[in-house]
Structure 1
Amino acid sequence: MKASDVLISGLGAFLPDRVPMEWAVERGLIDPAAAAEYGITSVTVAGDIPAPEMAVRASRQALERAGQNPASLSLLLYVSVWYQGPHGWCPQYYVQRHTGAGRATAAEVRQGCMGMFSALELAAGHLMASADHEAALVTSGDNFTSDLLERWRFSPHFVMGDAGSAVVLSRREGFARLKSVNAVTLPEYESMHRGPEPLFPPGAGRPGRLDFGDSKDRWLDGPDRDPAGPLRLVAAQDELVSRTLDEAGITMADVTRVAYANGSRERVEGRAMVPLGLPMSLSTWEQGRTVGHIGASDQVVALEQLLLCGELRRGDHFLMLGVGPGLNIACAVIEIVGTPHWSAARPANAA
Structure 2
Amino acid sequence: MKVSGVFVGGLGSCLPETVRVDHAVQQNLIAAEAAERYGIQRVTDAKDVPAPELALHAARTALGRAGRTGHELSLVLYVSVWAQGPHGWCPQYYVQRGIEASAATAAEVRQSCMGMFSALELGASHLMADPGHSAALLTTGDNFNSPLLDRWQFSPHFVMGDAGSAVVLTRDQGFARLCSINAITLPEFEPMHRDSEPLFPPGSTLGKQLNFGDSKKKFLESRPAGDDGPLRIVAAQDEVVTRTLEESGIEMSDVTRVGYVNGSRERVEGRAMIPLGLPMSRSTWEQGRTVGHIGASDQIVALEHLIERGELTPGDHFMMLGVGPGLNIACAVFEILRSPGWAEVAA
Whether TM exceeds 0.5 here: the answer is yes
1:149, 1:338 → 2: CA distance? 41
2:245, 2:195 → 1: CA distance? 35
Counterpart in the other structure of 1:231: 231
What per-residue deviation string (whole Å, max 9, x for no partner) do you get for residues 80-127 of structure 1? 000100000000000000011122000000111111000000000000
Counterpart in the other structure of 1:62: 62
Contact 1:219 1:225 (C-alpha < 8 Å) held by counterparts: no
**In the alignment, residue 77 of structure 2 is paired with which amino acid?**
L
With 313-322 and 196-205 compared, the bigger mean Cα shift is at 196-205
Is residue 2:96 matched to residue 1:75? no
What per-residue deviation string (whole Å, max 9, x for no partner) do you get for residues 269-324 of structure 1? 00000000000000000000000000000000000010011100000000000111
TM-score using structure 1 length:
0.97
- Cα offset for 1:205? 1.0
What per-residue deviation string (whole Å, max 9, x for no partner) do you get for residues 152-180 of structure 1? 01000000000000000000120000000
Contact 2:76 2:96 (C-alpha < 8 Å) held by counterparts: yes
Counterpart in the other structure of 2:325: 325
1:238, 1:289 → 2: CA distance? 25
1:250-261 maps to which residues of 2 (within 5 A)?
250-261=250-261
Contact 1:135 1:169 (C-alpha < 8 Å) held by counterparts: yes
Counterpart in the other structure of 1:201: 201
Counterpart in the other structure of 1:127: 127
Contact 2:184 2:330 (C-alpha < 8 Å) held by counterparts: yes
**In the alignment, residue 158 of structure 1 is paired with which amino acid?**
F
Q: Which runs of 5+ in 2 are unaligned?
A: none
Is residue 2:287 matched to residue 1:295? no
Contact 1:46 1:143 (C-alpha < 8 Å) held by counterparts: yes
Contact 2:69 2:99 (C-alpha < 8 Å) held by counterparts: no
1:1-351 maps to which residues of 2 (within 5 A)?
1-222=1-222, 227-346=227-346
Classify 1:280/1:229 alpha carbon distance in 2 versus 1 (closer, same or farther; 3 Å).
same
Percent of pairs with identical residues: 67
Secondary structure at 1:179's aligned position in 2? strand
Contact 1:74 1:133 (C-alpha < 8 Å) held by counterparts: yes
- Cα offset for 1:225? 9.1
1:225, 1:321 → 2: CA distance? 30
2:115, 2:205 → 1: CA distance? 24
Q: Which runs of 5+ in 1 are unaligned?
A: none
- Cα offset for 1:224? 8.2
- Cα offset for 1:196? 1.5
Aligned residues: 347
Aligned-residue CA RMSD in angstroms?
A: 1.1
**In the alignment, residue 14 of structure 2 is paired with which amino acid?**
F
**In the alignment, residue 27 of structure 2 is paired with which amino acid?**
R
**In the alignment, residue 273 of structure 1 is paired with which amino acid?**
M
TM-score using structure 2 length:
0.99
